Amino acid sequence: MCLIDLGGRAPRPGDQIELEFERLSEAGGCLGTIVVPIGPQQEPRRYRVEVPRGLLPGERARVSLTKRYRRTFQARALSLLRPSPHRQDPRCIHARGLGRALCGGCAMQTLDYSQQLALKQQRVERQLAAANVDPRLILPIVACDSPYFYRNKMEFSFAGEPAAKVALGLHPPGYRYDVVDLSGCQLLSPFTGPLLEAVRGWANATELPVFSPRQQCGWLLQLTVREGKNTNERLLELLTSTEDPVSTAQRHRPAQALAEGLVTAVLAAADQSAQPIDSIYWTRKRAQRGQPTTLEQTLLFGKAAIDERLDLPDGRSLTFSIDPRAFFQPNPRQAQQLYGLVIAGFAERPVARLLDLYCGTGTIGLSLANACQEVVGVELSQPAVDQARASALRNQIANARFFVGDAAKVLEEDLRDQRFDGLVVDPPRNGLSTAALERVLTVDAARLIYVSCNPAALARDIHGLDQRYKLRSAQPVDMFPHTAHVETVAILDRR
């Protein structure tokens, strides 16, 4: 906390100040607090200052205030006055420095990994303390064995003005239309660099126009890369507008021919790098105000879907098909660790009928199916449920069935009179809705395992479940190194 004298006035965008930063924000930025004397009476007022990227807790920096949201300011780091003793040189060149050119893919590569884990552990402990959780119930965080090259999916955006070189990369934090032109990515794989170079070279050699959201014209939108971390298979998807023919710098050209040119470019890069490309899609996005957005897919090369495999702690493996629209865990190797914790939780207290709420593509329920008589999954997304059913068939799992719908509504209507002795919930970031929490209390399962991606929502829901369930343990898991995100596997037993 720093006292800042601004001559009796409130701070405003454009002010440059020096302060010490205290902790990470939920989004991975750094937070500090300033106290400013206001008016003739010098009344002290507190303001929160957040720098989205570049700083670490304990560091002192000079920053420029950019935007104000009530008592919170966004700021841009200008210079580092006192670095953290835990600061390190990041492996990625796009994570170095303080300014706007920082990539938005990961925020914490400058922090020693052991300290990343410590901060995430503290975050879970701080949030659960608000729910009066006994700190002895919070176990040490599970680290990620491979904190680099762990993601199986990245979405890279195109950017560029007319007559300018095309950029391909990720948006810097706080900038929706700008793109950091990446030479590689430490989150996806070493092949990212040669792949992006090949696609960028194809776009520039062909003088392709980037789609402009402001002007609603242009062609290039996004390149999505998906990798099977346990199978070494890769799928690419080029996303464009529906413009056809495409207005290049010299002439109009058929969109199909241009898309096929991408295939030639990336297969050449794959051959040179000895990295396989198994599937290439071209998807046209039609988005008009007042009408639903539609996607038209064309398979340009290879097979319709790649495979990914989850290797479970008990020696079993499950195989999943991944197409351009498939939902899947972004860090499959660490997901194996997380699912192992859930499997172990139910191994201590075996269940006959398991209810899997917010089941997504059914990966948790399918991982547990061999230990249960029946698994019932509930998920709001129809495509995710379709994928769960297909995965059950592919892995010859006959005792799993899935319902599409809101969790609270399905429990009230379709599953009202059914009994379950085991319950898994893996809700979105905002946690259980009030209606869902009320219905969960009526399930009356002997054991409930809550997989959380938001410690604040977990703390709130543990408090709400307390009348029926008692927390046994909370296990933080680092699913996404170099970001602020942390998962927690909480095991609760019926009172």
Residue 43 shares a structural domain with residue 126: no
Number of domains the chain contains: 3
Count other C-beta atoms under 10 Å from residue 146's C-beta. 12
CATH number at residue 7: 2.40.50.140
225 with 188: CB under 8 angstroms?
yes
What is the reported pLDDT for 349?
87
Give the SS3 label for residue 471. strand
What is the reported pLDDT for 195?
97
Is there a domain that residue 92 lies in?
A: no
- DSSP for 389-457, please give it: HHHHHHTT--SEEEEES-HHHHHHTTTTT---SEEEE---TT---HHHHHHHHHH--SEEEEEES-HHH
- Alpha carbons 343 and 337: distance in angstroms, whole number: 10
Residue 211 shares a structural domain with residue 283: yes
- Alpha carbons 94 and 183: distance in angstroms, whole number: 8
Is there a domain that residue 450 lies in?
A: yes
Last residue in a domain, options 306, 332, 360: 306
Residue 127 shares a structural domain with residue 189: no
Q: Which residues of 83-229 form beta strands (DSSP E)?
A: 153-159, 167-170, 180-181, 220-227
Last residue in a domain, options 306, 326, 359: 306
What is the reported pLDDT for 73?
95
- Total residue length of the chain: 495
What is the reported pLDDT for 99?
65
Residue 215 shares a structural domain with residue 225: yes
104 with 456: CB under 8 angstroms?
no
Query: 407 is in which domain, residue-wise?
Result: 119-146+308-494
The whole-number mean pLDDT for each consecutive block of 10 residues of the chain, a chain of 495 residues, reads: 87 94 84 92 91 90 92 92 93 82 83 94 94 95 96 95 85 84 95 96 93 87 96 97 88 93 96 95 90 92 96 92 92 95 92 95 94 95 94 97 94 90 94 93 94 96 94 97 95 95
What is the reported pLDDT for 339?
95
Residue 359 shares a structural domain with residue 470: yes
**What tokens were used for 451?**
């997989």
94 with 103: CB under 8 angstroms?
yes
State the catalytic residue, choosing from 92, 359, 372, 453: 453
Residue 325 shares a structural domain with residue 415: yes
Angle between helices 455-465 and 434-443 (to 10 degrees): 50
Is there a domain that residue 108 lies in?
A: no
CATH number at residue 278: 2.40.50.1070
- Alpha carbons 78 and 98: distance in angstroms, whole number: 7
What is the reported pLDDT for 212?
87
What is the reported pLDDT for 395?
97
Burial class (CB in 10 A: 0-12, 13-18, 19+), 127: buried
Which residue shows structure tokens 């809550």?
A: 450
Asked, as a colleague might, if the bond just before 245 is cis with ω within 30 of 0, I would say: yes
Is 144 considered catalytic here? no
What is the reported pLDDT for 390?
95
What is the reported pLDDT for 101?
67
Is there a domain that residue 486 lies in?
A: yes
Is there a domain that residue 97 lies in?
A: no
Residue 313 shares a structural domain with residue 455: yes
Is there a domain that residue 71 lies in?
A: yes
What is the reported pLDDT for 33?
95
What is the reported pLDDT for 53?
83
Residue 272 shares a structural domain with residue 238: yes
Residue 289 shares a structural domain with residue 340: no
Is there a domain that residue 171 lies in?
A: yes
Is there a domain that residue 94 lies in?
A: no
